[in-house]
Amino acid sequence: MTTLTQTKERFSASAGSAVASLRDGRGAFDILPTPNLEWSPEVEAATAHLYERVAKVIPPVEWPFHAPYIKAINDLKRVRDAVILAHNYQTPEIYHCVADYVGDSLQLAKLAAASPAKVIVQGGVHFMAETSKILSPEKTVLIPDLEAGCSLAASITGADIRALRREYPGVPIVAYVNTSAEVKAEVDICCTSSNALKIVESLGSDRVIMTPDRYLAENVAAQTKVKIIAWRGACEVHERFTAEELESYRADHPGVKIIAHPECPREVVEASDFAGSTAAMIDYVRTKKPARVLLVTECSMADNVAAETTGTEFIRPCNFCPHMKRITLPKILDSLVHMREEVKVDPLLAARARVSVQRMIDAG
Ligand code: 13P
Ligand code: SF4
């Protein structure tokens, strides 16, 4: 068995240069040399079992470009005592080949808190990395690209929540986890797409303010007697789907099961056979095994599910999230080599935000 020290020595030796140290006030981080990224028989042998996982969705000609990064990342994770948390929208070479944990927003939040690793590399967008940091303040949380944002998180600020409180005194405010730490710190409780209805009904109020996704709010409002007051944000990926588009897919692909994410407009959800979080959508395919399916969500998810599914034909409209796609294998490797970009949340703000996230977890 290779020890951490042996793996680290192998890294240093293979690049033939000294390991530098970066001081950040809490101790020393080694900046490791960038590993050799050439395609070789050794890399091919070390990654052959991983290629089997993605062979249905990554052509053989592309593998020599991914495999050296995959091997280097998997080696370096052990050196750093790091885990990679990947959202279901990450590309297959990340999702199936370097991620330690995959899931929807709620699952990733819980996994971040439960993992014993010292370092979390977030394969996802900034609010997800912040949520990891909020739940695990003692861990080093890295995001491979600081610009990986989210149209929902960008649509609302802490000052907006304070203004809502003045406008609707006493009405509980729920924030989707797709929000900044500043927003989470101001609200009463968080929710994700998998628990939004439950959270709203758990508050015992006849009126609830849901922020920031107007469509998630409309989709919850359709299932409850609670009066929902909605912020007007939207996911730039899901709001582009239309009911007409789905009807034309149904006409072209008889028998197709259409499953949608609740960030889609109400009429899109109504035109679908099922709606749920990304994890619930994956579960639908795994358990119901439809002969034909169309996932009305970010397009990498269909690749990830198709890679591990037999007997189902995937109809694939492709709306991709430009923020999720900022996370790539070279950037993940760079994160682990340089220990960047570190996501920091002011401890007092994090403590307040943690109350809202923890209330959500406890309610679930
Ligand atoms: P879930 O994975 O929680 O369903 O969220 C989808 C999403 O858009 C995350 O950015
Ligand atoms: Fe935000 Fe939509 Fe991208 Fe998810 S898919 S990160 S909600 S913009």
Per residue in 165-199, pLDDT (tens digit) is 999 999 999 999 999 999 999 999 999 999 999 99
Condensed to tens digits (0 to 9), the pLDDT of residues 70-106 reads: 999 999 999 999 999 999 999 999 999 999 999 998 8
Say if ligand 1 is within 6 A of residue 105 CB: yes
In this predicted structure, what is the pLDDT of residue 32? 79
Instruction: Identify the band that residue 46 occupies on the pLDDT scale cut at 50, 70 and 90.
Output: very high
CATH of domain 238-320: 3.40.50.10800
Say if ligand 2 is within 6 A of residue 188 CB: no
- Domain residue ranges of the chain, discontinuous segments joined by +: 4-149+325-345, 153-235, 238-320
To which CATH superfamily is domain 153-235 assigned? NadA-like (3.40.50.10800)
The best mutation among 323, 325, 326, 327 to test binding of ligand 2, ranked by most ligand atoms within 8 Å of the C-beta, falls on 323
SS3 readout for the chain: CCCHHHHHHHHHHHHCCCCEEEECCCCEEEECCCCCCCCCHHHHHHHHHHHHHHCCCCCHHHHHHHHHHHHHHHHHHHHHCEEEEEECCCCHHHHCCCCCEEECHHHHHHHHHHCCCCEEEEECCHHHHHHHHHHCCCCEEECCCCCCCCCCHHHCCHHHHHHHHHHCCCCCEEEECCCCHHHHHHCCEEECCCCHHHHHHHCCCCEEEEECEHHHHHHHHCCCCCEEEECCECCCCHHHCCHHHHHHHHHHCCCCEEEECCCCCHHHHHCCCEECCHHHHHHHHHHHCCCEEEEECEHHHHHHHHHCCCCCEEECCCECCCCHHHCCHHHHHHHHHHCCCECCCCHHHHHHHHHHHHHHHHHC
Cα–ligand 2 centroid distance for 308 (angstroms): 24
CATH of domain 4-149+325-345: 3.40.50.10800
The best mutation among 90, 238, 297 to test binding of ligand 2, ranked by most ligand atoms within 8 Å of the C-beta, falls on 238
Q: Which ligand is nearest to the CA of 150?
A: 2
Residue 21 scores a pLDDT above 60: no
Cα–ligand 2 centroid distance for 263 (angstroms): 9
Tell me if 4-149+325-345 shares its fold with 238-320: yes
Cα–ligand 2 centroid distance for 295 (angstroms): 15
Q: What residue's CA is closest to ligand 1, atom 10? A: 178
